[in-house]
Structure 1
Amino acid sequence: MVERTEQGDVVGRVLGTADATPLTFWVAVAPGAYLQLDDVVVTNREMPDGSTVTIAGVVTAVRARHEGAQFDSDVFAIADGTLPAQVQEAAEITTTRVQPEVYVPPAPGAIVHRAEGDARASALYFDNMQRKVPMGFGRDGAPVFLNADFLDGSRGAHVSISGISGVATKTSFATFLLYSVFRCGALGGAGESANSRALIFNVKGEDLLFLDHPNARLDESTIDAYNKLGLTAGPFPDVRVYAPPRPGDSSGTPDVSSRHTGVDSFYWTLAEFCELRLLPFVFADADDERQQYTMVVHAVTAHLARVAVPADSGISIDGTRIGGYAELVDYLVNQLNDDATRGIWTGSAVGLGTVNAFARRLIGSKKDLARLIRGDLAVRRPHSINTAESAQVTVVDLHNLPDRAQRFVVGVTLKSEFERKEKAGTAKPLLFVVLDELNKYAPREGSSPIKEVLLDIAERGRSLGVVLIGAQQTASEVERRIVSNSAIRVVGRLDPAEASRPEYGFLPPAQRQRALLAKPGTMFVAQPEIPVPLCVEFPFPSWATRPSEAGPPPNATLRSIVQASDPFAVVGASTKSLEDDDIPF
């Protein structure tokens, strides 16, 4: 029978045949007890002055062996009962906390308890966290928390999530983390949480377009799991979705197939494209910065901002009216091919080969960007992505766009949001940016306008209230400064070659091996206060993660009434608080 004390069940004693140090030690598991990876244990060391040092840690390795066996074949004789031996299990413990901080090793033979309740909270520093964000459950079934101080910029910011695409559930964990942050009150109460914002780029299918719909697969066990975490299971209450216009559609209809209400088109007018100097984001591939034509890009951008004048349904340059992106590209190419005007646009003596390389790249962008840079939709409907004037969660759908267009949207949107935060000069409200495929937008090698914006966010975003939640298949291919500035590092299922990279050096050897086998929903989370990454299982999403899971939104009646009166209306922050009785019939 397992003995029990206030600290928890007695699971064994400190091993005397292996070195015990203040940072690692081994525990012989008692008969009838067991220890598994990620269990939290605690032991005490009596000091000569009569004081007690409490040493707590996490199980990072477990072994079992026959004591009394000499040869490999002895296992058969032991199993037959002809050779006396006994099975002994032992567990390696990596120390997480020592109280008081007297770093002495535990004494061999000292009793070891499985930490529960207050002892577990102390071992994992949960008792020191003034603002706790639930992340999921540990292997013992108890809640695991994240310190909000390392998420909102108080003492650190940014989250890096790595794992194999489709298996590691990176996006699911990122959205659950957002849901937990907004619902747990760790940001300072309901009012503070409501003032925080999230900007999510949807790059795969239409899975993130239904965050405000309950998950039809939600069951009682999942609801109970959310309750145990102190959360209410349900969808995101305040979501606004943006999608690009359909190709060739002069009305600007959003290019989505599964969601038919609450979606706005986003695009930029020709006047905005020139005034805001967005041309460099047309050349947003990291390879572009290695080319000599980048000097032409910046010269043309500056001249375009000087000479372009807004006009009806487009812009005017030196009396020439331009009504679309394709027309603008053709005009610029003609100006650069003309010997009389080339120097005016390039600003210096640039070789014809360099100009032609720029022109070829620019011409190649016409097909990809024509539906995003418009001269015909400026007065017909709102089109700007502005999280400060949007809902609590803004989803920008990119999955129907080609790669060049995706880069343009991500780069321009992040630049605009970051500049707004700079002008505001305050970190409140917080803006969480969720960006998948970070290795594409901020690769380790090369430079690009998007990468520079992301680096700015990683290095200065903390002070401005911009928090990057970046996900990628391979952290080894992401710019080092972005990864190193992430206070929270999360790892799901990893590829074997990727797991051996130094970027995952924060994982103990056993966790690196386990990351090759991790099932969907299991993540290893490292945060600054806790020396050992924690294994976390987060609950099934309570919001729809794909069209087939989407139940009717809680405000379905309100949404249908507003949409009927205005097909372009978005039910967001301005209408979500209305009750059905408040709507005039």
Structure 2
Amino acid sequence: MTKVIGKVSATESSPSTIDEFYFWTDKKQILSPFDIVKVEHESKSITYGVIEEIFHVTDAPSHFTSYISSDFGDVDEEAGNMNRLGMNYVRVRVSCNTKDIYTPVLDGQKVSLCNEEDIRNALGLSEKDVQNPLVCGYLQMYQGDASIKVKVVLNSHFLLGPDGAHINISGISGLAAKTSYSMFLLRAIQEKFRTENNETCAFVFFNVKGRDLMAIDEPNDELDEKEMKIYEDLGIPAKPFSNVMYFYPYSKDKVAANVQSYANPEDVKEQTKGNRAKKYKFVYENCLEKLDLLLANEDDSSGTLESCVNYIINGQPPFNNVDKWSTLVEKIDDCTKTQARGGNTNEIQVTSWRKFKRCVSKAIKNDVFGTNLNDSTGEIDLADEIANNLNNGQVMVIDIARLDENTQSFVFGSVARAIYDMKLGSERDNIPDKIILFVDELNKYASNDVPKNSPILKQLLDIAERGRSLGIILFSVEQFRSAIHDRVKGNCATAAYGRTNAIEVSKSDYRYIPKTYQNMMTRLSPGEYIISNPALRSLVNIRFPRPSYKQYPNG
């Protein structure tokens, strides 16, 4: 028997409707937004609802009356000759009815707290509702003796396809713990595919902050007993990722272990020695079809830069025998000269070639653009590695944290294109059914400010709109959801909202979220998220433990 905490109150100004109702409760009863309550309804059915707002009211008609009642403003506790009658009343959003009866609940009906089974039924989390279960965290419902902890298990088909795909995770830096929640979900997914053997899945992560993801196959020795117990209750082993390979950008600096990374050179050497790390490079002969990615951050509304790229790709003179980056720059330089000064003449204007040269020369200065690949030192081409070696259960972690913004864009674009091309046309018979692409700082590639002609934006739009059917799943993360391209976030079936600021929640992206929940978003704690998913009957406030892999204090 669950505790009765009040009765439905339907008044002339606040009637019950098919979507919401109100109930009064004792002013000492502690309730919170997102708590679930139940009411007995017609035909012995039960209506469940989620608390949206809590009000306190007394019989004082005005604040002036309250002031007078306290002996004209005496703040002493003993002051006043009148005890005001007071109570709380609560607004509840209806989530479901056990017999699909959606007439308004009636005045005077008892309102009760819920047990664990009730909560699952209210949110669509019962065993009959959830097929293909995937653990996404847990709910902490009620306070005091009535407190309940409920595991949240979603239908993975609404996150990983085919019914819905992609997740967008937002929140301010640091306090929202965006990467931590992403990795918690991804670790749960790896465990699911490892144990069920129904489908195959591979993972591609980009490390964009310090050493953040450069030790995800090493255990987190700082987890305490309480956190270990949470993992046990959720049914997920508190273990790091398995089958991980790290990819570092090449550098000529031998002191830094020939990589551009915030990782300790000794750690890189140890990973390389254990066949857990490789260095990646881009040589010209493998990148001819990807030259447009060098211009991803350039506004080319007139299409002049695109014309230069197409001219080179088609092997028009003088680019027909180019085989390395330095030669490319030399030939572009020839095109920047007028005919009178001995330059090459073609249908593209000299001024366009000059702009193209500035963009390309700036982009390929990095050591990662090399002349050849040295197999003996573990140097690889990322596109080839994905096309030939990305297998079931594998986690590729690609470090781009220390690269400049243009080079980061080139690396990301190359990888996204390689995954897309492999899914579309590879002849391999062991391509994973699902490939999950995790990208942090999505605003760099798919914000409203990115040039509309950006090839990386076009690639992301393709993945967002067609990835579900191809088995390419996007896990995207950014600070401000409102800054992201509508077609990218609009195609994400699941949204996770972490702590953010008042300015952000005032944007149109949050207008469907009740005001109380919006305000809660400005004070969520690390380890807390508000989740929206098609399989859920309401927004839920979930919690999750710290990652089970090694973390560095400052990333």
Task: Verify same fold: TM over 0.5.
Answer: yes
Q: Secondary structure of 2:419's partner?
A: helix
Determine what percentage of the aligned residue pairs are the same residue: 25
Is the counterpart of residue 202 in structure 1 residue 202 in structure 2? no
Which string of whole-angstrom CA distances, capped at 9 and with x for unpartnered residues, describes residues 108-140 of structure 1? Answer: 111112122221111000121112222222231
Deviation, 1:176, is: 0.8
Between 1:174-183 and 1:292-301, the stretch displaced more is: 292-301
Which string of whole-angstrom CA distances, capped at 9 and with x for unpartnered residues, describes residues 530-568 of structure 1? Answer: 34321111111111122789xxxxxxxxxxxxxxxxxxx
Is the counterpart of residue 229 in structure 1 residue 234 in structure 2? yes
Opposite residue 302 of structure 1, the aligned amino acid is N
Aligned partner (choices 495, 510, 516) of residue 504 of structure 1: 510
Aligned partner (choices 403, 406, 409) of residue 404 of structure 1: 406
Opposite residue 230 of structure 1, the aligned amino acid is G
Aligned partner (choices 359, 377, 384) of residue 373 of structure 2: 377
| C-alpha separation in 2, matches of 1:302 and 1:44 | 72
Counterpart in 2 of 1:270?
A: 284
Which string of whole-angstrom CA distances, capped at 9 and with x for unpartnered residues, describes residues 48-72 of structure 1? Answer: xxx2332111111112222355434
Counterpart in 1 of 2:56?
A: 64
Which string of whole-angstrom CA distances, capped at 9 and with x for unpartnered residues, describes residues 231-251 of structure 1? Answer: 111111221110101245699
Deviation, 1:290, is: 5.5
Is the counterpart of residue 474 in structure 1 residue 472 in structure 2? no
Opposite residue 83 of structure 2, the aligned amino acid is P
Is the counterpart of residue 15 in structure 1 residue 9 in structure 2? yes
Unaligned runs of 5+ in 2: 71-76, 142-148
Which string of whole-angstrom CA distances, capped at 9 and with x for unpartnered residues, describes residues 485-543 of structure 1? Answer: 00001111112222111112332211111111122221111011334321111111111
Counterpart in 1 of 2:364?
A: 366
* Pair 420,173 (structure 1): closer, same or farther in 2 beyond 3 Å: same
Which string of whole-angstrom CA distances, capped at 9 and with x for unpartnered residues, describes residues 265-297 of structure 1? Answer: 0112221112xx111011011524566322222
Which string of whole-angstrom CA distances, capped at 9 and with x for unpartnered residues, describes residues 362-392 of structure 1? Answer: 2222323xx2222232444351333562462
Is the counterpart of residue 216 in structure 1 residue 208 in structure 2? no
| C-alpha separation in 2, matches of 1:72 and 1:522 | 40
Which string of whole-angstrom CA distances, capped at 9 and with x for unpartnered residues, describes residues 44-101 of structure 1? Answer: 212xxxx233211111111222235543451673664621323311221111112322
| C-alpha separation in 2, matches of 1:398 and 1:505 | 35
Between 1:28-37 and 1:238-247, the stretch displaced more is: 28-37
| 1:280–1:301 CA contact under 8 A, matched in 2 | no
Between 1:212-221 and 1:402-411, the stretch displaced more is: 212-221
Q: Secondary structure of 1:364's partner?
A: helix
TM-score by length of 2: 0.86
Is the counterpart of residue 294 in structure 1 residue 306 in structure 2? yes
Deviation, 1:419, is: 0.6
* Pair 341,411 (structure 1): closer, same or farther in 2 beyond 3 Å: same
* Pair 365,384 (structure 1): closer, same or farther in 2 beyond 3 Å: closer
| C-alpha separation in 1, matches of 2:83 and 2:255 | 86
Deviation, 1:464, is: 0.6
| C-alpha separation in 2, matches of 1:365 and 1:33 | 62
| 2:122–2:537 CA contact under 8 A, matched in 1 | no
Between 1:447-456 and 1:373-382, the stretch displaced more is: 373-382
* Pair 341,44 (structure 1): closer, same or farther in 2 beyond 3 Å: farther
Q: Secondary structure of 2:197's partner?
A: helix
* Pair 512,297 (structure 1): closer, same or farther in 2 beyond 3 Å: same
| C-alpha separation in 2, matches of 1:511 and 1:486 | 21
* Pair 75,199 (structure 1): closer, same or farther in 2 beyond 3 Å: farther
* Pair 188,264 (structure 1): closer, same or farther in 2 beyond 3 Å: closer
Counterpart in 2 of 1:279?
A: 291
Opposite residue 518 of structure 2, the aligned amino acid is R
| C-alpha separation in 1, matches of 2:541 and 2:46 | 23
Opposite residue 443 of structure 2, the aligned amino acid is N
* Pair 98,152 (structure 1): closer, same or farther in 2 beyond 3 Å: same
| C-alpha separation in 2, matches of 1:182 and 1:506 | 33
Deviation, 1:397, is: 0.4
Counterpart in 2 of 1:326?
A: 326
Opposite residue 45 of structure 1, the aligned amino acid is H
Counterpart in 2 of 1:118?
A: 117
Counterpart in 2 of 1:130?
A: 131
| C-alpha separation in 2, matches of 1:174 and 1:464 | 22
| 2:139–2:542 CA contact under 8 A, matched in 1 | yes
| C-alpha separation in 2, matches of 1:57 and 1:360 | 60
* Pair 519,147 (structure 1): closer, same or farther in 2 beyond 3 Å: same
Q: Secondary structure of 2:380's partner?
A: coil
| C-alpha separation in 2, matches of 1:120 and 1:77 | 43
Counterpart in 2 of 1:389?
A: 389
Deviation, 1:414, is: 0.4
Counterpart in 2 of 1:565?
A: none
Is the counterpart of residue 88 in structure 1 residue 87 in structure 2? yes
Counterpart in 2 of 1:438?
A: 442
Counterpart in 2 of 1:144?
A: 152
Counterpart in 2 of 1:244?
A: 249
* Pair 351,334 (structure 1): closer, same or farther in 2 beyond 3 Å: closer
| C-alpha separation in 1, matches of 2:408 and 2:106 | 59
Q: Secondary structure of 1:207's partner?
A: coil
* Pair 480,540 (structure 1): closer, same or farther in 2 beyond 3 Å: same
Aligned partner (choices 159, 170, 173) of residue 162 of structure 1: 170
* Pair 188,364 (structure 1): closer, same or farther in 2 beyond 3 Å: closer
Give the paired residue count: 516
Is the counterpart of residue 522 in structure 1 residue 536 in structure 2? no
| C-alpha separation in 2, matches of 1:342 and 1:123 | 72
Opposite residue 467 of structure 2, the aligned amino acid is G
| C-alpha separation in 2, matches of 1:251 and 1:164 | 32
| C-alpha separation in 1, matches of 2:426 and 2:328 | 33
| C-alpha separation in 1, matches of 2:23 and 2:302 | 56
Q: Secondary structure of 1:353's partner?
A: helix
Opposite residue 130 of structure 2, the aligned amino acid is M
Deviation, 1:451, is: 0.4
* Pair 72,266 (structure 1): closer, same or farther in 2 beyond 3 Å: farther
Deviation, 1:461, is: 0.3
* Pair 543,329 (structure 1): closer, same or farther in 2 beyond 3 Å: same
| C-alpha separation in 2, matches of 1:510 and 1:55 | 22
Between 1:217-226 and 1:239-248, the stretch displaced more is: 239-248
* Pair 334,219 (structure 1): closer, same or farther in 2 beyond 3 Å: same
Deviation, 1:171, is: 1.2
Between 1:448-457 and 1:375-384, the stretch displaced more is: 375-384
| 2:529–2:541 CA contact under 8 A, matched in 1 | yes
Counterpart in 1 of 2:354?
A: 356
Deviation, 1:459, is: 0.5
Deviation, 1:164, is: 1.1
* Pair 508,251 (structure 1): closer, same or farther in 2 beyond 3 Å: closer
Q: Secondary structure of 1:265's partner?
A: strand
Opposite residue 49 of structure 2, the aligned amino acid is G
Opposite residue 470 of structure 1, the aligned amino acid is S
* Pair 497,291 (structure 1): closer, same or farther in 2 beyond 3 Å: farther
* Pair 480,237 (structure 1): closer, same or farther in 2 beyond 3 Å: same
| C-alpha separation in 1, matches of 2:35 and 2:317 | 61
Counterpart in 2 of 1:575?
A: none
| C-alpha separation in 2, matches of 1:228 and 1:288 | 53
* Pair 250,357 (structure 1): closer, same or farther in 2 beyond 3 Å: farther
Opposite residue 58 of structure 1, the aligned amino acid is V
